[in-house]
Amino acid sequence: MIARALTLLLSTALWLSAQNGPKITVEAAPKDPFVIQKTTVYPWKKSITATVFWIGETPTRNNPTPNNKSSWDQNWQKNFGGFDNPNPKARTGYLPTGITPGQNPFYIALPYNDCINHRMHRPEAARVIPWWKRGPTTPGTSVCKGRWLQIYCPSTKKICYAQWEDCGPFVTDDWQYVFGNKRPKNTKNQGAGLDISPAVRDFLGVGNKTTVHWRFIEFSQIPQGPWSKYGTNNPFVNKKVDVDLAERSRYMDYLYKLRDEAQKNRR
């Protein structure tokens, strides 16, 4: 009886795995992005000021933190492949001229870091991060790095997708805004609550300090686009970093273990 149940469970899991995630139709940028849609999982953060930042940005008086490193990657600029020059004259398409990026050029920063000194997670992380229980949570390893955002620009009516790769602007502990219903607690640069890369800026067709709406989005909901072409950190390119795929793999390993134990007990 147990073996039969395990066989049925395993066949069901295999079928689900073969579907490669849920089949979801992703709509184009809606006329009103706040209308509840069938694909909505995470709520929109409305009317957020977005500022432009880039890998390799040098420190200034107003922004003393250099961007050759990120909150989660001590070799960010090297791993990216160089300086992500924001000057439009030094860019080809959505890339800095002469560079084939090693990481996704569509990246963003939000003002929350789930880790403390690369050794442990913040005490509230397990309580406030929606996807916390989805996979393993190794102390000091971020579960936020690489998550996807959907970004809608009301002025240009464009929608873009990007990965969370750094923390800011200016603060790194604002979970009440990032995961809750509060406005950004940062007061600089018109209360900016999102940093966007030059590629995101160029795709949306905006400048610095622009107003956008954003929300978290599952990878399975994201259509192909320029954000799907580059980067070892990009699940479009490297399936090993697909969190959902990794979770399905762990679940399959668990089912195989149950099957083997059941067969062993029948002998």
Please state whether the predicted TM-score (pTM) of the whole model is above 0.85. no
Q: What are phi and psi of 169, to 5 degrees?
A: -80, 135
Contacts of 170 (CB under 8 A, 6+ apart): 63, 111, 186, 188, 189, 192
Q: Does residue 155 lie within any of the structural domains?
A: yes
Q: In sequence order, what DSSP letters do the residues of 143-166 get, joined into one string?
A: SSTT-EEEEEETTTTEEEEEEEEE
* Mean pLDDT to the nearest integer, 242-256: 69
Judged by DSSP in three states, 198 sits in helix
| CATH number of the domain within which 81 lies | 2.40.40.10
Average pLDDT of the chain is: 84
Q: What is the pLDDT of residue 27?
A: 40
Q: Does residue 118 lie within any of the structural domains?
A: yes
Q: What are phi and psi of 257, to 5 degrees?
A: -65, -45
* Mean pLDDT to the nearest integer, 108-135: 92
Contact 99, 214 (CB under 8 A): no
Q: Among 1-5, 104-108, 131-135, name the one with the lowest average pLDDT.
A: 1-5
Contact 174, 168 (CB under 8 A): no
Q: What is the pLDDT of residue 123?
A: 95
Contacts of 121 (CB under 8 A, 6+ apart): 114, 115, 137, 139, 140, 143
More confident residue, 110 or 39: 110
- Number of domains the chain is built from: 1
- The secondary element (H helix, E strand) that includes residue 107 is strand 107-110
SS3 of 212-240: the string is EEEEEECHHHCCCCHHHCCCCCCCCCCHH
Contacts of 81 (CB under 8 A, 6+ apart): 99, 100, 101, 102, 103
Tell me 88's DSSP state. G
More confident residue, 112 or 23: 112
The string of pLDDT tens digits covering residues 72-81 is 999 999 999 9
Q: Does residue 146 lie within any of the structural domains?
A: yes
Contact 44, 213 (CB under 8 A): yes
| Domain boundaries, position 127 | 28-240
More confident residue, 30 or 209: 209
pLDDT band at 20 (very low <50, low <70, confident <90, very high): very low
* Distance from C-alpha of 148 to C-alpha of 85, rounded to nearest angstrom: 23
Q: What is the pLDDT of residue 246?
A: 63
More confident residue, 97 or 259: 97
pLDDT band at 156 (very low <50, low <70, confident <90, very high): very high
Q: Does residue 170 lie within any of the structural domains?
A: yes
Residue with token string 């909505």:
40
263: its two tokens: 């067969």
* Mean pLDDT to the nearest integer, 6-20: 42
The string of pLDDT tens digits covering residues 187-203 is 999 999 999 999 999 99
Q: What is the pLDDT of residue 259?
A: 81
Q: Does residue 23 lie within any of the structural domains?
A: no
CA dihedral 47, 49, 55, 56 (to 10 degrees): 180
Q: Does residue 234 lie within any of the structural domains?
A: yes
Q: Does residue 19 lie within any of the structural domains?
A: no
pLDDT band at 118 (very low <50, low <70, confident <90, very high): confident
Using a pLDDT cut of 90, give the percent of the chain over it.
64
The string of pLDDT tens digits covering residues 35-70 is 444 444 799 999 999 999 999 998 776 666 778 899
Q: What is the pLDDT of residue 10?
A: 42
Q: Does residue 14 lie within any of the structural domains?
A: no
